Copies of this chain bind each other. A is one copy, B any other.
Amino acid sequence: MADGAVAAVDVRGGGPGTRETDALAPGNLVDRVHAICLTGGSAYGLAAADGVMAELESRRLGVPVGPDPAHVVPVVPAAVIFDLGRGGVFANRPTPEFGRRALRAASPTFARGAVGAGTGARAGGLQGGLGTASVRVEVGDTSAIVGALAVVNASGAPVDVTTGAPWVPHPVVRRPSADDRRTLAATIEAIRAAAQPLNTTIGVVATDAALTRPEVGRLAQSAHDGLARALRPSHGLTDGDTIFGLSTGSVELPHDHRGLVRSATSRVVHLNALCAAAADAFAVACVDAIVTARTIGDAPAYADLCPTALRL
């Protein structure tokens, strides 16, 4: 994203922790962002974005604000999850150095599960995590990708205890054995009473379709529908559920705006398809976070409680 990506955000939770999100309102000055920072540490963790900004500044990536090419201001919206004290020490939280290292380590392939911002995450008392998924969408005679990344830290249930499976199908998940279902149900019952009430699921939904900021906003909005399907309930007052939308802008959509009637050339038809894909991808990314996580602390992971659910 050397020139940045068109970005928008949709905050639906009642207790969000965010930074640089007002800059993303339609009509505001800055149209593109240079990175998105997803982190733990509650509002303290917003400091991680300082390090991302410093690293971007050193690479001269940002909005030019003067004649010297070194004079840039990177735009780095950020959102946090609540995980304070979950490793045992309340004062442990991401610092600017975490953000700097994360940007240096950024790569198209990355670890999933109880890693990064997902390390201290919980989901209905189970170990939460970081997950991803993508959906390809036909756009005229070409196609676009909608990819989602979710850091799942929810008070809501990620699995249906009656089936023992996540609410939304995932490629590696099948119905677990009756024994595993019983273990899962008993464990969830036991941890429910003691579960941490502060949560927040955050994420990004990104496409290579060339979209305007308002269109990217609808993509983020639709991703919350996927969140609502995967985590029940969601968007509570003690969640800060926040999803960013991004367009990296290489696949052109038709520009026929008359298309309220069904037409293969209508921009509206393609936008609807991209939004539906955003919901689907985000839902599967939430499930991906849950099923790839392994137990690392005091919260049991789904994969360890229900090993027969995973088709490996």
> A residues near B, CB below 8 A?
12, 14, 155, 195, 197-198, 218, 221-222, 224-225, 228-229, 232-238, 260-262, 268-269, 271-272, 275-276, 279-280
Contacts of A272 in B (CB 8 A): 155, 233, 236-238
> Given the interface contacts A197-B260, A228-B229, A268-B238, does A221 sit within 8 Å of B275 by beta carbon?
no
A160 to chain B, nearest CB (A): 11
Q: Which residues on the B side are within 8 Å of A198 (C-beta)? A: 260
Question: Are A222 and B235 closer than 8 Å at their CB atoms?
Answer: yes
A279 to chain B, nearest CB (A): 6
Copies in the complex: 2
A-B contact pairs, 26 of them (CB 8 A): A12-B221, A14-B218, A195-B262, A197-B260, A197-B261, A198-B260, A218-B237, A222-B233, A222-B235, A222-B236, A225-B225, A225-B234, A225-B235, A228-B228, A228-B229, A232-B276, A232-B279, A233-B272, A233-B279, A233-B280, A236-B272, A236-B276, A237-B268, A237-B271, A238-B260, A238-B272
Chain B hits for A232, CB < 8 A:
229, 276, 279
Q: Are A275 and B236 in contact (CB under 8 A)?
A: yes
- State A155–B276 Cα separation when bound (angstroms): 11
Chain B residues with Cβ below 8 Å from A155 are 272
Residues from chain B with a CB closer than 8 A to the CB of A269 are: 197
Closest 9 CB pairs of A and B: A233-B276, A225-B228, A236-B272, A228-B228, A197-B262, A237-B268, A237-B271, A237-B272, A229-B229
A229 to B272, CA, bound (A): 17
Task: Provide the bound-state CA to CA distance between A232 and B272, in Å.
Answer: 12
What B residues does A14 contact at CB under 8 A? 218
Contacts of A233 on B, CB cut-off 8 Å?
222, 225, 272, 275-276, 279-280
Closest-CB distance, A266 to chain B (whole angstroms): 9
